[in-house]
Every structure is written in structure tokens, then in C-alpha cells.
């Protein structure tokens, strides 16, 4: 999950540094091309898995659209934690109600500590002109992540990790290619062509990160996996400072350290 967190932060940095919608659409194309051959080796999806798959695709699309809008109006170190801020806390009650999952005592404490750190990062002061344009799509993306995490956990438990992962990645990528083309028009194809190298790299990073995430969902409580995924915030802060040359305040460093403490608690509990 630490490796997946690093990959997750890396592809977000690529999306932020490029054209958000075009990069996300191109990532899907790369992921679908890499994953499609595996469809010939996995089991066909059972009929009862298709509603979960359809709902997951819808939630993933909402997440990507919100993320693209957030990155158009904020720095990586600001927009990324906003898009993650409510995920652990939202996933906790949803996973309990739908999957009857409840973390252990130390896991629960760790989840709360991680959430405090993430929310602290997300609520750091920003220019008033960007607040509404940034916060609304970022929080919408955050809620979409919490929703698809629970749906995906249900799906991998229902039909197995390999089959659900392969079908989800391919069909989600095809669906978002259609959505991206409708939203971006013809220009989005030109933008994808201009940045195909970095987009392909981002697609590979996202594919590996998401595959590990679904694998973990199949073996652990959803809320704990979602919270531990926030280790990507630590890597995102490092990338924002070292590569994107964004300023990192003492307040933000303290908040990131709080996230690290919560991750340690979750890891020790497992």
C-alpha cells in the first residue's frame, strides 16, 4: 500500500502538471489497452456483479470530473488533500451499513487520526477567489471515492479480485473516453496526442496503484484500506515541494506528520 500510495501521488502530479481532463482520459486509454488481454484469462462476470460494476463506473466518472476541475483551480498540495479529505470518514459508515465491516480499536483510532491530518491539510487557508471553485469539485471527488471504494470492495468479494479488476478497468476507461470526448470535444484528442508519453506513464502508474488498492480491499476492512491509502498525501507533499516547487508551510508539515502517525497506528493494528 505504501508503494501504491507513491504511484498514486505520482500520477496525480502528472495530471496536475498537464491538462486534467485530457490526461485522465488518456490514462484510461493506456490502462484499457494494457488490461484488455487479461479479459481472455479471467472468469466472465456473474450476472449479480454487473449492477455493482455499473455503479462503480458512474462513481469513478464523477470522481475524475471533480478531480479535473479541482486541479484547474488549485495547487497539487492544496487540491489533492481536498479531494481525499472526507474519504476515510465517509467510507467508515458506508462500509459498516453495506458490508457490516467495523475496524478494530487501534485501526479506528488510526483512521480518525489520519482523517484529522487530511482535513487539517484540506482546510489550510487559501485565497478567497479560489475557495468555491476548488473546494466544491474536490469535496465532490472525495465523496465519489468513498462510494466507489465500498462498491468495489463488494465487487471483488463477490466475483474475485482478478475478474472484477480487469472488467472494471477496461469498461471504466471506455466509458470515460466517451465522457471525456463529449466534455472536451475534438481538442481533447489533440491534447492527448501531444502528451501521449507522459499520459501513458500516468496510466501505468494509475493502473498499478489501483490494482493494489482493489487487492487490499479484498483482504481488509474498507475503511482501513481507504485511510491507509492516504499515505499518498505524504508523497504528494514531497512531490509538490521537490518537483513542482510549491511552497509548503509549517502547518502543512504538521498535518502531514499527523497523517503519518495515524498510518503507523493502522499498520501496527494489522
In the block, cell 491534447 appears at 191
Q: Taking the model in full, what pTM does it have?
A: 0.83
Per-residue model confidence (pLDDT) at position 85: 67
Dihedrals phi, psi of 127, to nearest 5 degrees:
-55, 135
Do residues 57 and 147 make contact, with C-beta atoms less than 8 angstroms apart?
Answer: no
Per-residue model confidence (pLDDT) at position 229: 84
Assigned domain for 92 exists? yes
Assigned domain for 231 exists? no
* DSSP state letters, 150-188: HHHHHHHHHH-HHHHHHHHHHHHHHHHHHHHHHHHTTHH
Per-residue model confidence (pLDDT) at position 133: 65
Assigned domain for 122 exists? no
Assigned domain for 235 exists? no
Extract the C-alpha cell encoding 153. 470492495
Domain that holds residue 9: 2-102+128-219
Average pLDDT value over all residues in the chain: 84
Assigned domain for 110 exists? no
Assigned domain for 55 exists? yes
Assigned domain for 49 exists? yes
Instruction: Read off the pLDDT of each residue in 215-224 and give the average, rounded to a whole number.
Output: 87
Q: pLDDT tens digits, residue range 22-76? A: 888 999 999 999 999 999 999 888 889 999 999 999 999 998 888 777 777 777 6
Instruction: Read off the pLDDT of each residue in 139-158 and give the average, rounded to a whole number.
Output: 88
Q: pLDDT tens digits, residue range 108-135? A: 898 889 888 887 877 776 554 445 566 7
Per-residue model confidence (pLDDT) at position 204: 93
The count of domains in the chain is 1
Per-residue model confidence (pLDDT) at position 1: 83
Q: Helix, strand, coil: what percent of the chain each, to 5?
A: 85, 0, 15
Q: pLDDT tens digits, residue range 84-116? A: 767 887 888 888 888 888 777 888 898 889 888
Assigned domain for 160 exists? yes
Amino acid at each position: 500500500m505504501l508503494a501504491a500510495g507513491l504511484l498514486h501521488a505520482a500520477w496525480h502530479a502528472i495530471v496536475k502538471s498537464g491538462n486534467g481532463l485530457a490526461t485522465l482520459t488518456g490514462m484510461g486509454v493506456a490502462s484499457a489497452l494494457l488490461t484488455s488481454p487479461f479479459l481472455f484469462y479471467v472468469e466472465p462476470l456473474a450476472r449479480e456483479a454487473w449492477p455493482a460494476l455499473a455503479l462503480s463506473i458512474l462513481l469513478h466518472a464523477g470522481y475524475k470530473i471533480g478531480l479535473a476541475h479541482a486541479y484547474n483551480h488549485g495547487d497539487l498540495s492544496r487540491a489533492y488533500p481536498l479531494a481525499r479529505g472526507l474519504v476515510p470518514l465517509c467510507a467508515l459508515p458506508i462500509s459498516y451499513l453495506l458490508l457490516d465491516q467495523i475496524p478494530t480499536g487501534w485501526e479506528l483510532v488510526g483512521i480518525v487520526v489520519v482523517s484529522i491530518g487530511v482535513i487539517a491539510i484540506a482546510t489550510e487557508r487559501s485565497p478567497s477567489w479560489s475557495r468555491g471553485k476548488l473546494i466544491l469539485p474536490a469535496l465532490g471527488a472525495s465523496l465519489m471515492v468513498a462510494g466507489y471504494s465500498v462498491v468495489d470492495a463488494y465487487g471483488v468479494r463477490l466475483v474475485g479480485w482478478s475478474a472484477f479488476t480487469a472488467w472494471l478497468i477496461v469498461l471504466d476507461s471506455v466509458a470515460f473516453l466517451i465522457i471525456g470526448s463529449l466534455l472536451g470535444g475534438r481538442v481533447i484528442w489533440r491534447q492527448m496526442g501531444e502528451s501521449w508519453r507522459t499520459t501513458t506513464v500516468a496510466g501505468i502508474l494509475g493502473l498499478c496503484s489501483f490494482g493494489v488498492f482493489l487487492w487490499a480491499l479484498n483482504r481488509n476492512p474498507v475503511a482501513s484500506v481507504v485511510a491507509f491509502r492516504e499515505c499518498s498525501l505524504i508523497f504528494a507533499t514531497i512531490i509538490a515541494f521537490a518537483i513542482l516547487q510549491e511552497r509548503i508551510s509549517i502547518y502543512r508539515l504538521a498535518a502531514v506528520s499527523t497523517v503519518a502517525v495515524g498510518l503507523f497506528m493502522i499498520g501496527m493494528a494489522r
